[in-house]
Structure 1
């Protein structure tokens, strides 16, 4: 029997009246999640000035990623059991509630509670949007829809910091959260009225939610983060060690559950290509999160940037990431390892540049480092998922593909937790921002070293598969 390939869709096939609502729904879901993180990063200096909590600044990012990790793991099972409409509508409502809580927060702990809810809702919206496109669009249209979602992601990454800066400059940071609350509630209403009640569902089988494994993973992140709250020569190292132990326990437990693995099997010695790529994603995410978490604050406090100007620098990295990915995504598979190595080497150089410049300038080196990081991540992260799925066993391709965002978010969360400890040890909350600005990026260099070691371990596999 001869296989007839599906026809290649044109944009005119997607941009029709029938597809307008599904396309708008999925794109808006991606926009809310993508724009929210960088919008908040840009507003953080003003938020901290208003409500305090400088010591907890890294938690704003970390807890959002924690919520996203949980919902990223849960959404497939929720949709299988409840269909698409209910869970995705609930995710939009939870996101709206999180924005509302953040908007009315008068203390940092209340804001952090809002960020957890935003992470749960936003992570759910993002993950479910990609499930929704398989349910709402014909197979031959899906590549075009993925292209549209990628474009929205890139635009959101660019616009998020600018939107946050604009609200701070011309309104208030609270108004930004309230605006996102209103948009998320409109999305929830739209989802409930436009998605069929019987779409998806009835396919859960015996699947169980990975409570124990997620508890180990989230416990690891929280222990590392808590180590920075009450700095002590005894308890801080113990908490960090305990977090690392829980992370190892999570990896072991996940490997013992082959039917519902969250991650592919991981070799700590990086002897296979997939393990090397997962290590790269984790360690470079852990060091790269320093820009989104701390750079706007340091630019504002140390260099006199307005919120809008600081947001523009963060947006520079985001737009160069997206532009680079778009320009080189058509490169042949045989070049994957080389592009990954070049891209991550550029990211490593950018961390050195930040370490030399964020505390005292020059500004051009800060901007050049942001540009280098965006280009480097765009070059590397475009090809790491593709190469990982080529190198793994065919039966593991779905697990490997799904693991990429989970590993990346975990790297962001662990990196934010660890760098929060470094910031507090360097005196960020005690009026020493110059020292903190320097040490936060210096502390990322060991992550860079391990990530580059993973690049070396990947190199022998470059001609496989």
Structure 2
């Protein structure tokens, strides 16, 4: 089976016409708001700490944003069923505004953490609803192109947000960066209000309640994995990661056996289904590519003598590869999409092995190529994985399946970062910075994930049958 849905021929003008373009740009703006604030604190928080103090809390500005993002994304399908897509997106944008304003007016670092949590809740819900809207308003044959456009926005956001934050912190005030994104979120809410039609009557909507116990399990899992990576402890950190994974397993089991308040498709617990193979492919491969983002700049600076700016360029090339490959292969005929999934997953594995070989010794140009191969492979298959997962989902499960996609991606990133921290610190990175030790770490933070990438390739082949 090469295609879960029968597809007709499609082209770029189909999604760039007057009917679809305004909606596509709105979804891109929503994704921009979330993606930029993921890394905005990298260059705003140093200035914030100088003013407010709280250096020991700085890593939690990302961890709590991630937690809020995953929780809200997980609940987005229920919120859409209860309140409608338009209302949910507007409320998410306003929560994001509130978080931005709290950060911009913070008097100490704990208040900043509250603001970052609110930003994560708003941004995560926006991302979940973007995927739901994409599945509702675009035909399956349009999905690879829509996701290619969204991937380009994500790519631009990942390397633009540190520069935006740095520019405000350097030439103005770090608080203005959060004000700027608050204004953009208000604009998004206004656009959604007047452009998107209300979906369904109030009487036709579900009365399902938010499953707070399951959301608590998910929050606990994220916080435990984040804590394991924030501050390494030989005995405690592995326990935190294992406990976090166990909490996710319990969450998935409980959710699959729930009824009206179920957040994800029931089939997610069926390891024999192609749907679950697709979800596992996303999780395992996202987990496998986090080493570069987590420790790549540190290794490039300490081992190869690069400046922070040039190390950042390597990360920019990595993001660029994802977006370019997504655009380049978006028009691939449906009969070949199973090959893109298989070849893309293979490139992720090849790039990971290449990074393990090149990062300890160089040369720099080969390090850059290795990083681009890995993320480029992900970019070429990403839209087609999404198309197939949504295609495997029955109509009544499509919103749940759509909201599950970004959550799986972010959970993979969170778990990958935590495991990468365990690998690096267990090899003694915190005890010394000798060349030999850094070279050993540079090898194993990539090589250690090769088995997981292999498993991701196996699930990708099963998924694309």
Segment drifting more, 225-234 vs 28-37: 225-234
* 8 Å Cα contact 1:32-1:180 kept in structure 2: yes
1:438-457 matches, cutoff 5 A: 439=441, 442-443=444-445, 445-456=447-458
Q: Distance in 2 between matches of 1:375 and 1:329?
A: 13
Q: 1:378: which partner in 2?
A: 379
Residue matched to 1:168: 166
Partner residue, 1:128: 129
Alpha-carbon distance in 1 for matches of 2:220, 2:73:
17
> Structure 1 residues 35, 153: closer, same or farther in 2, change over 3 A?
farther
The structure-2 alpha-carbon separation of the partners of 1:227 and 1:91, relative to structure 1 and needing over 3 Å to count, comes to: same
Offset of residue 131 of structure 1: 4.8
Which residue matches 1:318? 319
CA RMSD of aligned residues (A): 4.4
The residue that corresponds to 2:284 in the other structure is 283
Of residues 361-370 and 169-178 in structure 1, the stretch that sits farther from structure 2 once superposed is 169-178
Q: Distance in 2 between matches of 1:161 and 1:186?
A: 23
- For structure 2, the 5+ residue unaligned runs are 1-6
Q: Classify 1:176/1:447 alpha carbon distance in 2 versus 1 (closer, same or farther; 3 Å).
A: same
What do the CA deviations read for 1:276-331 (whole angstroms, capped 9, x no partner)?
Answer: 32222112112223333443455456656555544433232222212212222343
For the structure 1 residues 372 and 230, does the alpha-carbon distance in structure 2 shift closer, same or farther, using more than 3 Å as the test? closer
After alignment, is 154-163 or 259-268 more displaced?
259-268
Give 1:266 deviation, angstroms: 4.5
Displacement of 1:373 in angstroms is 1.7
Which residue in the other structure is 2:220 paired with?
219
Match runs of 1:59-208 below 5 Å: 59-84=60-85, 86-102=87-103, 111-131=112-132, 147=145, 150-165=148-163, 167-168=165-166, 171=171, 174=174, 175-191=176-192, 194=194, 200=200, 202=202, 203-208=204-209
Length-normalised TM-score, structure 1:
0.77
In 2, Cα distance between equivalents of 1:402 and 1:249: 19
Shift of 1:87: 3.5
Contact 1:91/1:124 (<8 A) preserved: yes
Equivalent residue for 1:406?
A: 407
Q: Which moved more, 1:196-205 or 1:411-420?
A: 196-205
Secondary structure (helix, strand or coil) at the match of 1:450 reads helix
Q: Distance in 1 between matches of 2:426 and 2:56?
A: 13
Cα gap change, 1:230 to 1:144, in 2 (>3 Å):
closer
Greater CA drift, 325-334 or 117-126 = 325-334
Q: Deviations over 1:231-263 (max 9, x none)?
A: 444433333332232222122212212652514
What is the CA distance between 1:154 and its match in structure 2?
0.5
Question: What 5-or-longer segments of structure 1 have no aligned partner?
Answer: none
Decide whether the 8 Å contact of 1:64 with 1:115 is kept in 2: yes
Please tell me whether residue 262 in structure 1 is matched to residue 264 in structure 2. Answer: yes
- For structure 1, which segment, 244-253 or 348-357, has the greater mean C-alpha deviation from structure 2 after superposition? 348-357
Counterpart CA distance in 2 for 1:433 and 1:102 is 39
- Contact kept? 2:100, 2:181, Cα under 8 Å: yes
8 Å CA contact 1:105–1:111 kept in 2: the answer is yes
Distance in 2 separating the partners of 1:219 and 1:254: 16
The answer as to whether partners of 1:219 and 1:246 remain within 8 angstroms in 2 is: yes
* In 1, Cα distance between equivalents of 2:144 and 2:277: 27
Q: Distance in 2 between matches of 1:291 and 1:449?
A: 17
Figure out how many residues of one structure are paired with residues of the other and give that number. 451
C-alpha distance in 1 between matches for 2:221 and 2:20 = 43
